Chains A and B, each alone.
Chain A
């Protein structure tokens, strides 16, 4: 037992998957929910790690940024409250690219996380700490957040299962905002069944987040022989690593062998998703990150006889390079003379992508995505 514990501790340090390693686990008590009081709780005993941009009461939350160093969360995010009620044990906070801006976890102000399969490689990002912790067996499951691939991509890089839920199916209350119209919290685990259990416990409508919709997770026994799967031709035409393309192809062939109907579909606007994202994300984050003003969230750079604006500017010097770059782009895209050409155009493209998907979902049950 002690040997295993030592190995786990060493692994935590070598991978740099966890921040604030001094934290004591939070074990739910029977007072947290009726289910736990009755000895139930669907996640009882599950060891869960939390991305450090999700608030856990009385624990630090840095979002991987120096600007939030020393901040202690005053309340639980809705997902944390629900997961505690379901009996999950919270074991720690995981590393991420600063405010979720990155795809490798190298942009964390607290050093990069390494991939447990090969420490010379990155674990992906921005939820790289959460993915690495699960892959290295340091926890049973973890929470990440996804704004533009930040759960899907590290899950793939670490060889585990990650779920980016539909926007609005999980509350964002207590998630440190990056781009509010895209952010969503989702689970990682080594198997799909655990991902499903965590998602079932954390999802659903929340009065504290008005973008959530009336939703209760229900397991569906899919009859593959009746499934209609769409192949979007625009995605197959993109330049994608042949190994990945062939892996996706083999899944499509497997579905076909089980009787699923494979149908060619068209999503013409989807190739514009990335440039639109490059406008919408910085625009929203430049507004969201204006709150780090050296007054709120404890951290500030103070010098004598400073004016308010100087305090603001000096504190914001704590942002890393990637964060500054995106704030600059967002400010540019929202400024007079550029708003219509950049922000309004990107939002129009987003609307077109939505309507293209609505059309395709009338033709098939699910389109295949890379």
Chain B
């Protein structure tokens, strides 16, 4: 696989929600195709008969009686969030005005 173009690496960074420096973009544009070339040796076994993946992590069994996690106190939760306003987590605006 050839080196990724600047547009391709920018698109991938956008999909990944990562901000990359120019140095990182240059480095990853070279490294990613090398890793994918190594992975391409899997293509020889791509024709293996198999079922479509329905779950990434196979569960040992489903437990309808699964206990709910212990509840964390408001005090503990407050410590875990960077900003707090009237018993609610404060986050920046999602939409522009």
Task: Give 1 or 0 for each of B53-83: 1 = CB within 8 Å of chain A CB.
Answer: 1001111111101110110100011011111
Contact of A180 among B56, B65, B93 (CB under 8 A): B56
Known: A212-B60, A275-B38, A316-B18. A348 touches B48 (CB 8 A): yes
Contact of B61 among A213, A283, A299 (CB under 8 A): A213
Task: Point out the residues of chain B lying under 8 angstroms from A310, CB to CB.
Answer: 92
Contact of A211 among B28, B43, B45, B60 (CB under 8 A): B60
Q: Is B85 an interface residue (CB 8 A)?
A: no
Known: A278-B35, A298-B82, A316-B18. A210 touches B60 (CB 8 A): yes
Known: A308-B94, A314-B19, A329-B32. A181 touches B50 (CB 8 A): no
Task: Point out the residues of chain A lying under 8 angstroms from B77, CB to CB.
Answer: 74
Residue of chain A at shortest CB distance from B48: A348
Task: Identify whether the interface residues of B are mostly helix, strand, loop, or mixed.
Answer: loop
Task: Point out the residues of chain A lying under 8 angstroms from B32, CB to CB.
Answer: 325, 328-329, 332
Task: Point out the residues of chain B lying under 8 angstroms from A244, CB to CB.
Answer: none
Would B79 and A298 count as touching, CB distance under 8 A? yes
Would B42 and A272 count as touching, CB distance under 8 A? yes
Interface residues on B, range: 35 or more
Q: Is A34 an interface residue (CB 8 A)?
A: no
Would A306 and B18 count as touching, CB distance under 8 A? no
Known: A311-B92, A327-B18. A302 touches B72 (CB 8 A): no
Task: Give 1 or 0 for each of A247-269: 1 = CB within 8 Å of chain B CB.
Answer: 00000000000000000000001
Would B91 and A308 count as touching, CB distance under 8 A? yes
Residue of chain A at shortest CB distance from B72: A74
Task: Point out the residues of chain A lying under 8 angstroms from B89, CB to CB.
Answer: 295
Would B16 and A331 count as touching, CB distance under 8 A? yes
Task: Identify whether the interface residues of A are mostly helix, strand, loop, or mixed.
Answer: helix
Q: Is A38 an interface residue (CB 8 A)?
A: no
Task: Point out the residues of chain A lying under 8 angstroms from B66, CB to CB.
Answer: 207-208, 210
CA distance A316 to B12 in the complex (A): 15
Known: A298-B80, A299-B82, A345-B46. A313 touches B39 (CB 8 A): no
Within 8 A of B (CB), among A65-123: 71-72, 74-75
Interface residues on A, range: 35 or more
CA distance A275 to B39 in the complex (A): 5
Q: Is A198 an interface residue (CB 8 A)?
A: no
How far does the Cβ of B13 sit from chain A's closest Cβ, in whole Å?
7
Would A295 and B45 count as touching, CB distance under 8 A? no
Residue of chain B at shortest CB distance from A317: B19
CA distance A208 to B18 in the complex (A): 32
Residues of B within 8 A of A (CB): 12-13, 15-20, 24, 27-28, 31-32, 35-36, 38-43, 45-46, 48, 50, 52-53, 56-63, 65-67, 69-70, 72, 76-77, 79-83, 89, 91-94, 96
A-B contact pairs, 24 of them (CB 8 A): A74-B76, A74-B79, A75-B70, A207-B65, A210-B63, A214-B60, A272-B45, A275-B38, A275-B39, A278-B38, A295-B82, A298-B82, A307-B92, A312-B17, A313-B17, A316-B19, A319-B18, A325-B28, A325-B31, A332-B32, A335-B12, A346-B42, A352-B45, A352-B50
